[in-house]
Amino acid sequence: MNRAPTTTAVILDKILTFLAPLFLSAVSGDAAAAREAARALLAAYNPRTDNELRRAALIIAFDFGALDALSRSVADDLTLNQVLRLRGNANALNRASLQNQKALEALQQLEPEPSEEAADLPLSLEPADLASFARTAAPMSRQQRRFAERQAEKAQQRQQEQARRAQRAAEVAARHTSASHHPPV
């Protein structure tokens, strides 16, 4: 069954609930306008799945957290230690945002566009086709990909060993047949 990637309305609503407070001060406390601002920012990331939606929300939250920490760090009544801590937090939040941006971009490259046809089954049960299908069916971690590759290599080695055994058995049978047709002198 082919399914186009979709987002869940409940998850979108929950994410908007989390993001809306970031915009309340900018819209004079209007909750509906704050949710709409969050929705517009999320839409800019073009999330197609719940996972992409969550990544986009994290990018927004970390970006605004970093900006908030930086803006607070310029207050005149802060000690040097407080300023450095706020700037360090802003830097950490920015790194987290960048990591989520890379993860979102990777997800969007791995997941097909809704208009693309996804394969329901592998082309055959051959190890190479199974490994190829597994790689394209769902995003896998590096460990999962390596495991699938090892499994495919082992299956190929088993097939080669079976072919060698069959060839040896055929050679032995041929020698036996040849020896039985030629009586010893």
CA distance 81 to 62: 22
Structure confidence at residue 110 as a pLDDT band (50, 70, 90): confident
CA distance 159 to 26: 66
Per the structure block, which two tokens stand in for 120? 């329901």
In the prediction, which pLDDT does 138 show? Answer: 56
Give the Cα-Cα-Cα angle 5, 44, 9 (nearest 5 degrees): 45
Winning range, highest mean pLDDT, from 72-81, 116-125, 126-135: 72-81
In the prediction, which pLDDT does 3 show? Answer: 45
Please report the DSSP string for 75-132 in residue order: -TT--HHHHHHHHHHHHHHHHHHHHHHHHHHHHHHHSPPTTSPPPSS-S-SSHHHHHH
pLDDT tens digit sequence for 168-181:
988 888 887 777 66
Structure confidence at residue 119 as a pLDDT band (50, 70, 90): very low
In the prediction, which pLDDT does 150 show? Answer: 81
pLDDT tens digit sequence for 16-74:
999 999 999 999 999 999 999 999 999 999 999 999 999 999 999 999 999 999 999 99
In the prediction, which pLDDT does 115 show? Answer: 45
